[in-house]
Amino acid sequence: MDNGESSTNDSSRPWESYNTVFTNAKAGMEGVDKEKVQRIVYEMSKGSKYFQNEERKEALMKQKIEHMRERSTKLSSTDLSNYQKVVDRRILELEATRDLSRIWLHVDMDAFYAAVETLSNPSLEGKPMAVGGLSMISTANYEARKFGVRAAMPGFIARKLCPELIFVPVDFTKYTHYSELTRKVFRNYDPHFIAGSLDEAYLDITVVCRERGLSGGEIAEELRSSVYSETGLTCSAGVAANRLLAKVCSDINKPNGQFILQNDRSTVMTFISSLPIRKWIKIGGIGKVTEHILKDALGIKTCEDMVQKGSLLYALFSQSSADFFLSVGLGLGGTDSPEARSRKSISSERTFSATGDEKLLYSKLAEIAEMLSDDMKKEGLKARTLTLKLKTATFEIKSRAVSLQRYTCSSEDILKHATKLLKAELPVSVRLIGLRMSQFSDEIRNSDPSQETITKFIIQKDSSRQNLDDNDYDGSKNCISNDESLGLSFDTHETSYDQLKDVEYEEQSEIDADKVIPNQEFKKEERPRVSEGDALLIKHKECRPDTSHSTNDAPNTEAVTVFPQMEPLLWIDGYKCNLCGIELPPSFVEERQEHSDFHLAQRLQNEESCSSSSTTPTSKRRILGKEKANSKLKKQKQDHKHIPIHTFFTKTNQNSFSYLKLIFQKRNQEEMKMVLNLISPKLNLSPFNTLGEPKPIPSMSDILTSSRTRNLDLKIQTLGPFFRVTGKNIDTGGEVGRAEGVVRPWFGKGLVLHLDTIKLTKETMKMEKSVLGVGLYVGAVAIRHGYDCGCRTAQLLAIYDSDLYHSKLVRFYRRIGFEEVKEVSGSSIGDMADMLVWGGVGTRMDASIHHLLLKWSKVFLKSKI
């Protein structure tokens, strides 16, 4: 859709604009011919789906940058000087938190996985080697890095860069074992060290240094040699006043080296502001995108700039982001000793070769649910939010989440809900499926057990959202952990807001306070949670909603006993009701609402007729509680024992056809024929032939189902009267054709389906040679859409381009069932209407929609048998 953006490349050196991360500064990359690496990476990637997605992401990033730039230019100098006041005060506050009394050490193992592999297979020594496979490598040793090979690079590109590269498969048990050995050493220096990952850690060595009268550098030397003697592995270390600086330092003399930054303010400031851009990029939290935004939109290239342009940062970013940038600029961050953080989610995901085959996808999903469930059981975790992650064949990431009523870790529960989530996305061609569970049951564990129950109650109760917010335990927790994750040890929020208000009052500034108010303020007041919780509990008991026919909750036992047959209403393929099979286009929002009301009414009828005694008043109230939006229904329910189904179908516009079909399916044919004539005598949309039999025209589902057997994924979007049908190759995700147009009244013909374009792309069509096939399918969806909208006629203009092309076009349309109506040449007054509508000359061709559907029905109904 958004291509054509890459044409800005310098044509002689297109690779220069392909921003891979592979040429960033990384230890061991100093002597690398970066241009060559970049060129090869570009050439290996160019044209691939992955590459296209990178281009798409890049375009988005540019947009973001442009937006940021625009916003920055709109800032007035008064704005900026006001924000500068905030910055000035903030700097003072941040300075006050500067703690130079601690000594932090960051250890980072050198090419950890590769080094471990070399240890267990010494013949690898001195040879370029990478841990991983042809699709992805995890780590490269230093010999390989000389060729530009590095972590996160696909193996096949690495091999191109270094043909003799040796690949070694990953073996996490090995790495975990060696990691544990290193950690034993770390514990001797700081029993509470923070493990960043298997191969790195932060140690607060203040105490060791003091007790043993050694400098940070001496301790680092000792630790590193101790690690070496225990494991045979080398590591690098950085020593500084805080974790952020220590981490930067450990990178400086990599591999097998160390760097010590004195705990002295001016040394720190000189160091940080002299840091070349390539170094501070790697400061945690600033990645590729943020870097570009800072640099390209705001001209911030160094840490010094961050302080100097602080007013810009505070004007354009959230408070917490701006605070983070500013503290980086001041060389602050991470002097506290945070408590060990507990995990907040657990997940499992797998990549495979892209497929749109539903059976296959469901079985992958089951495998992943199983893995996830196993992991959760191993960790003793139960959770209530399930997130499905998909990576499409075109590398786009999608996620879909549901929050369940109960905490669970069972693979059955997970799979059941995951399947629903996946089902709603089909058809889709994906290359990765992932499942994640979050919101653990013990996340809200509290010292007071009575409070825990109340909290659980609040959390479980969906409709108490407002109250939940007011008692948002997680919210306050997030605030704290944010600061931890940023390595900041100060509380930023309220003070700054007060300051800003001061500024506003003092200066009569025009700053929009909303922009600067932190998203999450600390709630410092005591929360009256027990009494509120009690009130909630009562409220909850009173009107706990029955949500069992929404798509995303766990079964409610009570509801199940009342309505054992109750299933959630879903629109299969986005079109077809799973309960009765009626089809309603997605754009028929109101109609769909009424349709679901219909099913509800049915249930109510069943309830009344089959077991009025077994139905408790409570359960009735529940149903109505959920459906209270429909006051019509409520009234019916209260006034009558039985609800006549036709009450729900009072509309008399052309859309009523859908209802009629429904009624036809549910009720006596004769009766319905009468209703049909009553409601819609003009339109010949009867689904019956003269014999009173349903006409065999393909339904939207028939068309979609049939198209899928041809590897086509068809979608229709509507915007008011406009519509667009797109057809994609299920496997590649590439677009193969589209139709666009509008449903409009036409002189004396009622509504017509006006087809603006039917476009077919040949290149991406690896499926059938037959253009006619794709055209037919795309066209059929459009035509069926017209049918659903009550159109009788479809019309199009075979545009006159050249003789040859035009006659081909006319022949094509004739083959699929259109007939020439007239030549629109602009030579007669009568052509004016057509000219105005079509904006060109050509052959106007019409077709009877019903006729087309009948004519095509064999094609689409074939697959049904």
**Residues involved in catalysis:** 200
Which range in 281-289, 734-742, 774-782, 841-849 contacts DNA by CB under 7 A?
A: 281-289
Q: Footprint of DNA on residues 452-471 (CB under 7 A)? A: 459, 465, 468
Q: Is 853 helix (H, G, I), strand (E, B) or coil?
A: helix
* Residue with token string 């370029």: 128
The distance of closest approach from Cβ of residue 635 to DNA in the complex, given in angstroms and rounded to an integer, is 32
Instruction: Identify the residue among 107, 307, 428, 432 touching DNA (CB under 7 A).
Output: 432
Q: How far is the CB of 38 from DNA (least distance, A)?
A: 12
Q: Are 320 and 675 in contact (CB under 8 A)?
A: no
Task: Count Cα atoms within 13 angstroms, Cβ side, for 120.
Answer: 14
Footprint of DNA on 388-417 (CB under 7 A): 396-403
Q: How far, in Å, CA of 86 to CA of 509, rounded? A: 12
Kindly tell me which residue out of 76, 120, 188, 197 binds DNA, with binding defined by CB under 7 A: 197
* Number of amino acids touching DNA (CB under 7 A): 79
CB of 50 to DNA, least distance (A): 4
Nearer to DNA, 325 or 856 (CB): 325
385 part of the interface to DNA, by CB under 7 A: yes
Contact positions with DNA (CB under 7 A) in 37-56: 41, 44-45, 48-51
Strand, helix or coil for residue 395: coil
- Nearer Cβ to DNA, position 253 or 318? 318
Least separation in angstroms between residue 36's CB and DNA is 16
Of these, 552, 630, 636, 795, which contacts DNA (CB under 7 A)? 552
* Nearest distance, CB of residue 437 and DNA, angstroms: 9
| Residue 151 token pair | 């972590």
Q: Near DNA by CB under 7 A, which window of 147-155, 643-651, 669-677, 699-707?
A: 147-155
Least distance between DNA and beta carbon 623 (Å): 22
Cα–Cα separations (whole angstroms), residue 49 to 56, 621, 732, 796, 847: 11, 53, 8, 34, 39
Q: What is the layout of strands, in order, in the sheet containing 129-132?
A: 137-140, 129-132, 166-168
Which residues from 482-511 bind DNA, rule CB under 7 A? 482, 485-486
Quick check: 72 binds DNA (CB under 7 A)? Answer: no
Give the residue carrying structure tokens 């349903």.
Answer: 694
CB of 337 to DNA, least distance (A): 16
Strand 793-799 relative to strand 750-760, pairing: parallel
Total count of residues recorded for the chain = 865
| Nearer Cβ to DNA (237/751) | 237
State which residue, 518 or 625, has the beta carbon closest to DNA.
Answer: 518
**Contact window for DNA (CB under 7 A) among 75-83, 129-137, 586-594, 615-623:** 129-137
Buried b / exposed e over 302-311, threshold 16 CB at 10 Å, is bbebbbebbb
Please choose, from the candidates 481, 510, 515, the residue with its C-alpha nearest in 3D space to the C-alpha of residue 343: 481
- Nearest distance in Å: CB 66, DNA: 13
Alpha helices in 232-264 (DSSP H): 243-252
Q: Which is nearer to DNA, 107 or 624 (CB)?
A: 107
CA–CA distance, 36 with 42 (Å, rounded to integer): 10
Stretch that binds DNA, among 434-442, 694-702, 799-807, 854-862 (CB under 7 A): 434-442
User: What SS3 class is residue 56?
Assistant: helix
In the complex, the smallest distance separating the C-beta of residue 59 from DNA, rounded to whole angstroms, is 11
Measured CA to CA in angstroms, residue 397 lies from 390, 405, 410, 431, 764 at distances of 6, 27, 26, 10, 22
- Between 288 and 855, CB nearer to DNA: 288
Nearer to DNA, 313 or 643 (CB): 313
With respect to DNA, which residue has the nearer C-beta, 14 or 284? Answer: 284
596 binds DNA (CB under 7 A): no
Instruction: Please identify which residue in 5, 33, 95, 134 interacts with DNA, judged by CB under 7 A.
Output: 134
| Residue 589 sits in the site that holds DNA (CB under 7 A) | no
Residue 291 in contact with DNA, rule: CB under 7 A: yes
- Preceding omega of 585 cis (within 30 degrees of 0): no
Binding residue for DNA, selected from 80, 136, 537, 767, defined by CB under 7 A: 136
Q: How many CB atoms sit inside 10 A of residue 334's CB?
A: 28
Which residues, numbered 157-196, are part of the site for DNA (CB under 7 A)?
Answer: 157, 196
Separation between Cα atoms, residue 797 and residue 37, nearest integer Å: 52
Distance between CA 768 and CA 777 in Å, rounded?
A: 12
- CB nearer to DNA: give 199 or 591: 199
**Is residue 535 within the footprint of DNA (CB under 7 A)?**
no
The yes or no reply on residue 198 touching DNA (CB under 7 A) is: yes
User: Stretches 263-271, 346-354, 523-531, 715-723: which one binds DNA (CB under 7 A)?
Assistant: 346-354
Chain residues 365-384 in contact with DNA, contact rule CB under 7 A: 375
Of positions 284, 625, 687, 721, contacts DNA by CB under 7 A: 284
Cα separation, 341 vs 485, in Å, equals: 10
Q: Check residue 303 for interaction with DNA (CB under 7 A).
A: no
Q: Which stretch binds DNA (CB under 7 A): 152-160, 179-187, 683-691, 827-835?
A: 152-160
Which residues have a Cβ under 8 Å from the Cβ of 751 and sit 6 or more positions away?
654, 743, 744, 745, 786, 789, 790, 791, 792
Nearer to DNA, 308 or 485 (CB): 485
361 with 424: CB under 8 angstroms? no
Q: How far is the CB of 127 from DNA (least distance, A)?
A: 20
Q: Which stretch binds DNA (CB under 7 A): 80-88, 475-483, 490-498, 831-839?
A: 475-483
What span, in angstroms and rounded, lies between the C-alpha atoms of 441 and 452?
10
Measured from the CB of residue 787, what is the shortest distance to DNA in angstroms?
Answer: 31
The two most distant CA atoms of the chain are separated, in Å, by 103
- DSSP alpha helix (H) spans, 382-488: 411-425, 449-460, 465-470, 473-485
649: left (phi > 0), else alpha (psi -120 to 50), else beta? beta
Note whether 282 binds DNA by CB under 7 A.
yes
Distance CA 841, CA 839 (A): 7
Q: In a 3-state reduction of DSSP, which class is residue 817?
A: coil
64 scored as a contact of DNA (CB under 7 A)? yes
Please report, as residue ranges, which positions from 693 to 722 form the binding site for DNA (by CB under 7 A).
none
Residue with smaller CB distance to DNA, 312 or 752: 312
Among 188, 270, 351, 650, binds DNA (CB under 7 A): 351
Instruction: Supply 681's token pair.
Output: 């005598």
> How far is it, in rounded angstroms, from Cα 103 to Cα 242?
7
Q: Residue 624 and residue 619: Cα distance in Å, rounded?
A: 9
Nearer to DNA, 203 or 798 (CB): 203
Footprint (CB under 7 A) of DNA, residues 208-247: 247
- Judged by CB under 7 A, does residue 23 bind DNA? no
> 20: which 2 tokens?
């891979």
Contact predicate 94/322, CB 8 Å: no
**Nearest distance from residue 7's CB to DNA, in Å?**
20
Q: Please confirm whether the linkage preceding 545 is cis (ω < 30° from 0).
A: no
